[in-house]
Chains A and B, each alone.
Chain A
Amino acid sequence: MLLGNGLLVFALTATVLANVLFTVSRRKGGERLRPWAGRSVVAGALGIVAASVWLMTLIANHRFDIHYVAEYTSKASATRYLVAAFWGGQEGSILLWAFWTAVLGWVLSRKSGDRTAWVWPVFGVVQAYLLGLLLLKSPFRPVDGPIPLDGKGLNPLLQNPWMVIHPPILFLGFASTAVPAAWTVHALLHKDWDGWVKSAFPWTLFSFATLGFGLSLGGYWAYETLGWGGFWAWDPVENTSLVPWLFLTAMLHGFAVQRRNGGFRIGNLLIGALPFAAMNYGTFLTRTGVLSDFSVHSFSSLGPDAYKVMLGATLLVALAPLVLLVLRWKGIPRDKAIPAPVSREAGFVAAALLLALMGLGVTLGMSAPLITKLWMPKGAALQADYYNQIGYPLGLVMAVLMSLTPYLAWKTGDAGDALKRLWPPYIAAILCTIAMTGFAWKLGIRKPWMVLLFATSMFTTLANAWLVAPRLKSSGGRRTLGGFVAHMGAGMTLAGVAVLVAFSTQHEAVPLVKGETKEVAGTKLTYLGSTSHPFERDNALRIKVESGGLAWEANPRYYFANWEGKDTLFANPPAIHRQWYGDTYLALGGEQEEIMDDPDRASTPNNQFSLRRGETKIFGDYSFTLEDVGFDDAAREAFKKGRSEFEKLVEFQIKAVATVRYRDTEKVVVPAIRIVPKTGEYSIVAEIPGPDGNRTILRFVPPPTPRQIEEVEGMWQQAVAEAKTKGQPGTPAFQQALMPSVSLKQRLDQMQGLTTYQTLRFETYNAPDEQEVVFVDLSTKPFIWLVWLGTLLYTLGGLVAYRRRATEASEPATAKA
């Protein structure tokens, strides 16, 4: 606590000091303070890096006296998930943001030459803000109350290799948006009308590439592990990264124009701080819980203090540059951006405009719940279709622009010449489209709008590829490839989306009976069983898939994680079968059966039954006898000593001793429930005899929690109250009204009986069961690799352009380029 917060305070002090020293050093004779300001920057950065290392150390050493460590890690966490836990929670992810900010700020102080003293203080304000936020909601604060022996662990959904790589890259992109914003504010404050563009250009490209790559990694992660079949859902959390990326992309085009002819100054100053502002706004929306009724992602609030600080910062970041721009309006020199209606400049300006419009449109959409609260009491959400409807026409126009603009010369474009040179890609794109349309026709799909999008975006890809090819030969050519490669990628991603929308098929909740083959849209599925059992992390269903002359075994994962005291089914990774023409995507169709539903039902996929002590039940080839039930030794001792002694136990077990007979074999097994009063109840399953090659297990099901009972009781009381409005208790009207809810009362009695351990509930997994059913979702994703390859290409293009612009920025200032 002390060391961590101490480091944060130290970093904050150094940051403020750097700001003051830089500002003073700008006065006459103040130059000698510059080295000291530089050292303060390094000290501040080191403070943040040290705080990050310290948090990592606390996590690695299981220091559960620290709230953050207890909340997001446990002793059982694998090493890589200890790393992921660093950013698995709110406070840690803000520290990650601060970490990258510190690193970037240090580089910025090194790379900005004489103007460091002007630009760094702007950046320093951002760094100070993040440090302030961290001190307000510190990752180093101790736990309230007694120190737990073990932590809660990272949410199983986040225990995923992607979680190790995706957030650092995304947050690097997030943090880097502050640099162009700092340059913008600097330009406005100090009337640096052209120099800032040259300096901010490589930073903006860096931001574009990292944020874009972070976005595509997030999409790929969702596709590969969450099992809902998509990679993009227009959710606020996704939009929080998308909007800054759109603004950054718009900015790149504006920058290129200003670097060329000095035009578009006001446009660039207007948009320069927008990526950072949008990122802050999105962070505010998603981290403060204002959208929690409207989004897929779960948010926990950072608390009212952080809420106010974030709201203030968001408003400041969004409004301050605008106010400055208005104040400086008259003094900004204006040069003509578009020399001729048909010119590369015109295409670039149009691109900047359209991309910014898309960014604003998405911002409007994600703000809908807030905006509509002005006139609707509960607010209203927007359907995701809104984004598709505004995105489609913009995407189409941009695809056309991306094909034509690269063929136009700067200053005066010759449309005739461009069209002449565009023939080969145009013909090739048409051939691709004819092939696609023919394919669609054969499958009976009629989506002309998607065919149009496919045609134009294919044209984009090919037109840019035509320009890339000859440039690969010389090093000078390779230097200027970035834009073309990025546009190839953008076209490819759009084409991929068009194909997916047109051709994807999806069949949800398909029931598969074990051993029987079911045909779904030409694909034959046979459920064979499980690789192990659902309480083992790598358990997967074994489903034989036969499609188009190919056969394979798909293994969608099926695993119950111990989470918050319950055995919980989280989104399980699907089985993806990849071919050049697309993926076959097989995912678990939601929850298989409800354990709570009916304790005595001996049905699929598990036998569920309850036993009293000494009782025997027979299911098919199995018979189960409950011999005894009791505590583990330590708990029994403690129980004898008295209630207070028992309550001191950190954990205890309730063991059931059961005899299982399967055909000629007999085995005594001891399934148990491990109860950890602080965190919950976990099953310890027992292996029972079964047919060869099948791990069959018996699980002792924990009794319902008081909360679950309360809930059913509440529903019953409500049903009674409702029935009373129909008639007096005892009257036929009352009886009739209550009839549909009688099962509630039965369940309530049953649950109350279960809590006293007079009856124990069990269930089996993988026991031979002819009737066993699983539900799966089957979908096809034709040519989805186009989307992935496209995102890689625009990232690569961004990096190539970054190299070029970084070289330019480090060259001494010359006359206008």
Chain B
Amino acid sequence: MKVKAGPIAGLVVIAASLAFGGAAFVRNLTPYLPFAEARAATGTVQVMGALDKTSVQLVEGGLRFTLIEKGTGARMPVVFGHTKPANFMMAIEITAIGRYEGDAFHADKLLVKCPSKYQGTETKSYGR
């Protein structure tokens, strides 16, 4: 039965890779959550809301702002440690990807959806 060693080794490699890949997949999923759940969540999540334009503060090394959740009107302070995205103030909707820590949502990445006259909306992402 020596002949079968090859295929078996192959299957083991594939199974191990699948398990490894599956674990990486689950670990890196970032679900969209309502603000209330996002505050309690552990790990990286995404929240979506409208920008409170009066709340935007440019600070050294990044910016702070507040998102307002559709429907509930709940507010979420967000800290973004990167450069302020272009067209930020025109955003109609912002998705922040990160985690809630202390008293604010620390975003690693923002998806900024802007009104675009000709193509409906346009989404751009910022941060890493």
Q: Could you tell me which A residues sit within 8 Å of B by CB distance?
A: 71, 152, 228, 230, 292-296, 298, 300, 338, 341, 353, 357, 361, 364-365, 368, 372, 376, 378-386, 389-390, 393, 507-511, 564-565, 568-571, 589-591, 594, 596-597, 680, 707, 711-712, 715, 718, 721-722, 740-741, 743-744, 747, 775, 777
Contact = CB atoms under 8 A, between A and B. Distances in A.
14 contacts: A300-B119, A378-B31, A382-B28, A383-B44, A386-B27, A389-B27, A390-B24, A508-B62, A509-B61, A569-B87, A594-B88, A718-B73, A743-B54, A747-B54
Contacts of B60: 509-511
Which of A298, A341, A570, A718 is most buried by chain B, counting CB atoms within 10 A of its CB? A298
A57 B58 CA distance: 48
Please provide the 5 A-B residue pairs with the shortest distance between their CB atoms, ordered closest to farther. A386-B28, A590-B83, A378-B32, A380-B31, A589-B83
Contact of A777 (B63, B83, B85): B83
A506 to B, nearest CB: 9
A383 B97 contact: yes
Given A386-B28, A775-B83, 12 more contacts: A71-B118, A295-B123, A295-B125, A341-B5, A365-B25, A372-B29, A381-B46, A382-B30, A569-B87, A591-B85, A722-B73, A744-B54
Contact of B84 (A389, A570, A589): A589
Contacts of B29: 368, 372, 380-382
B117 interface: yes
Contacts of B86: 568-571, 590-591
A368 B25 contact: yes
A324 to B, nearest CB: 23
Nearest to A294: B111
Contact of B122 (A298, A596, A747): A298
Contacts of A368: 25, 29
A589 B31 CA distance: 29
Contacts of A747: 54
Interface residues of B, number: 56
Contact of B52 (A295, A715, A777): A715
Nearest to B22: A364
A460 to B, nearest CB: 20
A723 to B, nearest CB: 11
B115 interface: yes
Interface of B: 5-6, 10, 13-14, 17, 20-21, 24-25, 27-32, 44, 46, 50, 52-54, 56, 58, 60-63, 68, 73, 81-89, 92, 95, 97, 111, 115-126, 128
Contacts of A298: 116, 119, 122-124
Contact of B25 (A379, A386, A596, A775): A386
A707 B73 CA distance: 21
Nearest to B62: A509
B78 to A, nearest CB: 15
B89 A508 contact: no
A152 B118 contact: yes
Contacts of B126: 228, 590
Contacts of A376: 31-32
A380 B61 contact: no
A740 B125 CA distance: 29
A532 to B, nearest CB: 20
A381 B53 CA distance: 26
A722 B30 CA distance: 30
Contact of A389 (B24, B89, B116): B24
A793 B10 CA distance: 31
A701 to B, nearest CB: 14
B21 A364 contact: yes
A383 B128 CA distance: 9
A722 B68 CA distance: 11
Contacts of A230: 128
Contacts of B13: 353
Contact of B10 (A353, A364, A378, A707): A353
A357 B87 contact: no
Given A298-B119, A300-B120, A509-B83, A381 B25 contact: no
A389 B88 CA distance: 31
Which of A341, A589, A590, A775 is most buried by chain B, counting CB atoms within 10 A of its CB? A590
B107 to A, nearest CB: 13
Contacts of B82: 508-509
A715 B68 CA distance: 10
Contacts of A385: 28
A422 B53 CA distance: 63
A228 B116 CA distance: 22
Contact of B89 (A338, A509, A597, A740): A597
A293 B123 contact: yes
Contact of B20 (A393, A508, A594): A393
Contacts of B24: 386, 389-390
Given A508-B83, A741-B54, A743-B54, A596 B89 contact: yes
B87 A591 contact: yes
A589 B82 CA distance: 9
A318 B46 CA distance: 32
Nearest to B85: A590
A565 B50 CA distance: 23
A591 B84 contact: yes
A25 to B, nearest CB: 42
A382 to B, nearest CB: 5
A707 B28 contact: no
A341 B9 CA distance: 11
A508 B61 contact: yes
Nearest to A378: B32
Contacts of B17: 357, 361
A294 to B, nearest CB: 8
Which of A338, A365, A591, A741 is most buried by chain B, counting CB atoms within 10 A of its CB? A591
Contacts of A775: 58, 83-84
Contacts of B28: 382-383, 385-386, 389
B93 to A, nearest CB: 9
B98 to A, nearest CB: 10
B54 to A, nearest CB: 5
Given A293-B111, A509-B60, A509-B82, A390 B20 contact: yes
B128 to A, nearest CB: 8
Contacts of B44: 383
B21 A361 contact: yes
Nearest to B6: A338
B122 A383 contact: no
Contacts of A740: 54
A320 B44 CA distance: 39
A586 to B, nearest CB: 13
A594 B65 CA distance: 14
Nearest to B59: A509
A228 B109 CA distance: 13
Nearest to B18: A357
Given A295-B125, A357-B14, A590-B85, A382 B25 contact: yes
Contacts of B124: 296, 298
Which of A296, A383, A721 is most buried by chain B, counting CB atoms within 10 A of its CB? A383
Nearest to A777: B83
